[in-house]
Amino acid sequence: MTPAQPAGRPAGDLVSPAENTWCPGCGNFSIEHMMKSAIAELSEEEGIPIENFVLLGGIGCHGKLVDYLNVNSFYGIHGRSVPAATGIRLANPDLKVICHVGDGDIYAEGLDHLLFAAKRNSDITVVVHDNRVYGLTTGQYTPTSPTGFRGRSTPGGITEHPLNPLEVMLAAGATHIARGYTRKVQHLKGLFKEAIMHRGFSLIDVLQICATYFNLTDYYNEHAYEMKEGETSRFESALGKIREWDYDREAPIPLGTFYSVDKPIYEEKFRALTADRPDRRALVRKVIEEWR
Amino acid sequence: MAEYSILIGGKAGEGINTAGLSIAGLFSRLGYRTYMYFDYPSLIRGGHNFAIIRASEKAIGAHRTPADVLLAFDQNSIENHRESIHGGTTVVHDASQVVRGEGYGLPLDTIVKEEKAPPITKNSAMLGALARVAGIGRDVLEDVLRESVPAKHLEANLRVAGRGYDAVEGVFTVEPLDGPALPVLTGNEVAGLGLVHGGLDSYVAYPMTPTSSLLHFLANRAEDLSIRVIHPENEISVIMMALGLAYAGERAAVGTAGGGFCLMTEGLSLAGMSEIPVTIVVGQRPGPSTGIPTYTAQTDLHFVLNAGQGEFPRLVVAPGDLAETYSWSATALALSWKYQVPSIILTDKTLAEGACSFDLGAVAMHPDRKPEIWDGTGEYRRYARTKSGVSPLTFPGRAGTIVKANSYAHDEAGFTTEAAGEVTALQEKMLRKGESLKEELSTYPTVRTYGARDAGRTIVCWGSEKWACIEAAEEFGARVVQPLVLAPFPARAWKEAMIGAGNVVCVENNATGQLARLLRQQGFDPGRSVLKYDGRPFAVDELAARLKEVIA
């Protein structure tokens, strides 16, 4: 490979040689392929070099995605991708930083980080592989599992209600909130591209089929619909739309972008501080010489 | 030898710490070396705070119990320090607060009222009184105030200081010395400056005593030092942000105490496995759990040596004074990058929040070390298996390369693997880095000795107990041996330093003898332990008395 190569590359080149170990029929395949196409297309259309994309993975079936793509990756630990993503974006403003996280991973283990990244409008994209069950640990309930869900740790069924993560994100200050579904792949790809290009914190909750532990294909096919494009800058109307389905009771499930607004980006306020990289040892001497 | 000890005490919120630093500044101005121990409970207003400021012709780094001057803002500041008052002690107290006072009583309420000055200026009255008692000229007093008090409050402080000066009499005379007027810095401030010297780009921390003031100092000086300072939601986020920064090519350090370090341990293990450099300042305080938050201890040595699941190399350094804090902070950061291992700078409340004269010119710096950067030949492999174990670095955004960091066992390119051969090779590669680091450290002053080799008595200590041990040892003609690096343990240097050690005593601020345990693990005899675990550091005289029981 040489630097002279044009920025865009065929999406097929982005598949790594790593052996894929997801179950047949897993919703992660759709997410992987649509993320791969989104990156390839953005590279082509927006002139973003492939090497400027960074993927982060948490721990869970979703995380394997970062091994399967030939893209920079930080395959971290359970629930903690988001602060690492902010660190990466802080260090290099040219990078497009995308976290692939699971619903157990980020809504349980790492919820604090998610709230604060939204609150500070960190310029990162979070893609939640929301299959509403722990897959890799073989079938326990997660924060978005519906009431009554019988998992291996809750054989009697859970009595609590799920979180509506999009409502939580809106309250926390996220500036771009969307929902996708793994059976609507072209729509999903469009959501990925839009979120990646959003300046600020973006989250896409992807309703993902777990073929082995929680296959909701029929339920989602029956209830999911794509929202008409329209106004997405009003908090109250976004909240109303987000509350149309609460991840629990039977209701139409809107897909698409609920909310998208421009606000100052967290990382930008630090840029001036480290911009021209002066001789810091001279600065240290000066601080000590002028000590008071 | 000219040497003075001043104790100033009062309630929290009265500015005892700042007043103590001004007293140190007064002596510094006259060319003395100063040391300040600051003692405060975990509350915001009330309670009893005190500072002991010692000034000497020679370098010092510990306090002594007897005071030449005691400045008391309240009754407790006299009653709690009876052991510091002796025949030669001059007591100056606030006559508005102290009922059973001795020495000079200053009507501070009346003075500030008459001078229309804010209550905080009472500190300046005490400073003025001290200057007069110690035979320090009014000009020196005013110079020190001009340098430390913001312009808009200066006039009021000068007036009040003058009232204090005039209210007492000269008792002794502090002769000016030829030495330079050195700045007085805390261990935290020097750690921050050392990290920047070592190449720091970003400091990330969540507040926790005793390293909060490192966060505050760097945040205040971020522009002067051209660094980023970030305070995220918790310590887990702190270390993860630092690892993100480092993965993308920026040098980051974090700071915390034992409790915050507990939260960081999963990130520490990730740093080990993913080989992403990070430097962690751990300021010890007494535990377990919340313990006594604003006091001191040396109780986390084995915690930092062993924290994190799995087996991976790390660098642990324990500086004993400001010079060592500066040079080893810089080196900890640089070596963390050269060997792609986490490095830990282990301090404690005594060192972190204590203040001392700092002579940057006299700091012996270690050689500069740069990370190994990929030369661009062939296809990049983040975890290329080299002889040294160190894989050349590059960062995301470099044209034509893909950088894959991984917390799972991984192959050379960074892809997850569970293959037996790959896993074995990876573990051995990581451990080779530890060996390479150990080899490099063999040329560093990893073990320091003080005093004559043929003393026949040796005091072993680490961290902030160093100077109390050096001074106490002089009284017995004993030698002091101090390990600066605790991991990888410098066994060869230790063995060499302990030749002819004779009668060995191991002094520590903990209840179980943690350095002694480490020495035994390494196959060395740590001698008899002298331990203190009440949250306070040894005063020189206190330590000397304890040593007398076991050495003499």
B236 in A contact zone (CB under 8 Å): yes
Chain-centre distance for alpha carbon B148? 23
Q: Is the Cβ pair A88, B396 closer than 8 Å?
A: yes
Which chain B residue has its CA at the smallest distance from A268's CA? B228
The pairing of beta strand A53-57 with beta strand A96-102: parallel
pLDDT grade for A292, boundaries at 50, 70 and 90:
confident
Q: Is the Cβ pair A87, B183 closer than 8 Å?
A: no
**Matching CATH number, B447-551, of 3.40.50.1820, 3.40.50.720, 3.40.50.920, 3.10.129.10:** 3.40.50.920
A20 in B contact zone (CB under 8 Å): no
User: CB–CB of B327/B362 below 8 Å?
Assistant: no
In angstroms, rounded to a whole number, what is the distance separating the alpha carbons of residues B443 and B190? 24
Q: pTM higher than 0.90 for the full model?
A: yes
- Would you state the pLDDT for residue B340? 98
Chain B residue numbers touching A270 (CB-CB < 8 A): 228, 230
The beta-carbon neighbor of B396 closest among A70, A72, A86 is A72
| Residue matched to tokens 């040329």 | B443
pLDDT at A277 over 80: no
Chain B residue numbers touching A278 (CB-CB < 8 A): 226
| Residue matched to tokens 């982005």 | A14
What is the rounded radius of gyration, in angstroms, for the C-alpha atoms of chain B? 25
Which chain A residue has its CA at the smallest distance from B250's CA? A91
Amino acid at B448: R
Chain B residue numbers touching A91 (CB-CB < 8 A): 201-202, 244-245, 247-250
Q: How many helices (H) and strands (E) does chain B have?
A: 19, 21
pLDDT grade for A276, boundaries at 50, 70 and 90:
low
Q: Do B3-167 and B184-362 share a fold?
A: no
Q: Is the Cβ pair B233, A91 closer than 8 Å?
A: no
In angstroms, rounded to a whole number, what is the distance separating the alpha carbons of residues B295 and A189? 56
In angstroms, rounded to a whole number, what is the distance separating the alpha carbons of residues B267 and A10? 36
Chain B residue numbers touching A80 (CB-CB < 8 A): 236-237, 240, 266-267
A271 in B contact zone (CB under 8 Å): no
How far is the CA of B214 from the CAs of A263, B203, B282, B294, in angstroms? 31, 9, 11, 15
- Would you state the pLDDT for residue B501? 95
In angstroms, rounded to a whole number, what is the distance separating the alpha carbons of residues B85 and B97? 19
- Would you state the pLDDT for residue A272? 64
Chain B residue numbers touching A112 (CB-CB < 8 A): 233-234, 236-237
Q: Helix, strand, or coil here: A87?
A: helix
The beta-carbon neighbor of B243 closest among A64, A84, A276 is A84
In angstroms, rounded to a whole number, what is the distance separating the alpha carbons of residues B14 and B73? 9
Across all residues in chain A, what is the average pLDDT?
A: 94
User: CB–CB of B348/B463 below 8 Å?
Assistant: yes
Tokens of B487: 């991991």
* Count of Cβ atoms closer than 10 Å to residue B548 Cβ: 12
Q: A11-265: what fold?
A: Rossmann fold (3.40.50)
Instruction: Work out the minimum CA distance from A41 to partner chain B, whole angstroms.
Output: 18
In angstroms, rounded to a whole number, what is the distance separating the alpha carbons of residues B546 and A254? 75
Picking from B268, B395, B402 by the largest number of A CB atoms within 10 A of its own CB, the best residue to mutate is B402
Burial class (CB in 10 A: 0-12, 13-18, 19+), B99: exposed
Q: Is the Cβ pair B407, A77 closer than 8 Å?
A: yes
Per-residue pLDDT tens digits for B445-459: 999 999 998 989 999
A8 in B contact zone (CB under 8 Å): no
Q: What end-to-end distance do the CA atoms of chain B give, in Å?
A: 25
Residue numbers of chain B with a pLDDT score lower than 50: none
Q: Is the Cβ pair B148, A292 closer than 8 Å?
A: yes
Please name the residues between 113 and 172 in chain A that touch chain B, using a CB distance below 8 Å: 113, 115-116
User: CB–CB of B7/B13 below 8 Å?
Assistant: no
Please name the residues between 86 and 105 in chain A that touch chain B, using a CB distance below 8 Å: 86-92, 94-95
Picking from A43, A273, A292 by the largest number of B CB atoms within 10 A of its own CB, the best residue to mutate is A273
A77 in B contact zone (CB under 8 Å): yes
User: CB–CB of A259/A177 below 8 Å?
Assistant: yes
User: In sequence order, what are the beta bridge partners of A188?
Assistant: none
User: CB–CB of B384/B374 below 8 Å?
Assistant: no
**Number of cross-chain residue pairs from A and B with Cβ atoms under 8 Å apart:** 187
Which CATH number applies to B3-167? 3.40.920.10
Per-residue pLDDT tens digits for A89-143: 999 999 999 999 999 999 999 999 999 999 999 999 999 999 999 999 999 999 9
Which CATH number applies to B184-362? 3.40.50.970
Provide the 8-state DSSP code for B448. E
- Would you state the pLDDT for residue B220? 97
Q: Is the Cβ pair B415, A18 closer than 8 Å?
A: yes
Question: Can you state the angle between helices B138-148 and B151-167, rounded to 10 degrees?
Answer: 150
- Would you state the pLDDT for residue A6? 43
Residue extents of the structural domains in chain B = 3-167, 184-362, 447-551
Which chain B residue has its CA at the smallest distance from A2's CA? B400
Phi, psi (rounded to 5 degrees) for B401: -125, 155
Q: Is the Cβ pair B408, A75 closer than 8 Å?
A: yes
Instruction: Work out the minimum CA distance from B282 to partner chain A, whole angstroms.
Output: 21
The beta-carbon neighbor of A73 closest among B395, B401, B404 is B404
| Residue matched to tokens 């030949």 | B377
User: CB–CB of A280/B226 below 8 Å?
Assistant: yes
Tokens of A158: 């859970």
Residue extents of the structural domains in chain A = 11-265
Q: Is the Cβ pair B248, A92 closer than 8 Å?
A: yes
- Would you state the pLDDT for residue A5? 42
The beta-carbon neighbor of A283 closest among B225, B243, B245 is B225
Chain A residue numbers touching B270 (CB-CB < 8 A): 76-77
User: In sequence order, what are the beta bridge partners of A225?
Assistant: A254
Chain A residue numbers touching B395 (CB-CB < 8 A): 92
Phi, psi (rounded to 5 degrees) for B290: -65, -30
ipTM of the complex: 0.96
Please name the residues between 269 and 288 in chain B that touch chain A, using a CB distance below 8 Å: 270, 274
Instruction: Work out the minimum CA distance from A13 to partner chain B, whole angstroms.
Output: 13
Per-residue pLDDT tens digits for A29-53: 999 999 999 999 999 999 999 999 9
Tokens of B40: 């405060």
Q: Is the Cβ pair A51, B398 closer than 8 Å?
A: yes
Candidates B251, B173, B185, B265; CA nearest to B221 is: B185
Which chain B residue has its CA at the smallest distance from A284's CA? B193
H/E stretch holding B239 = helix B235-247
Chain B residue numbers touching A49 (CB-CB < 8 A): 397, 399
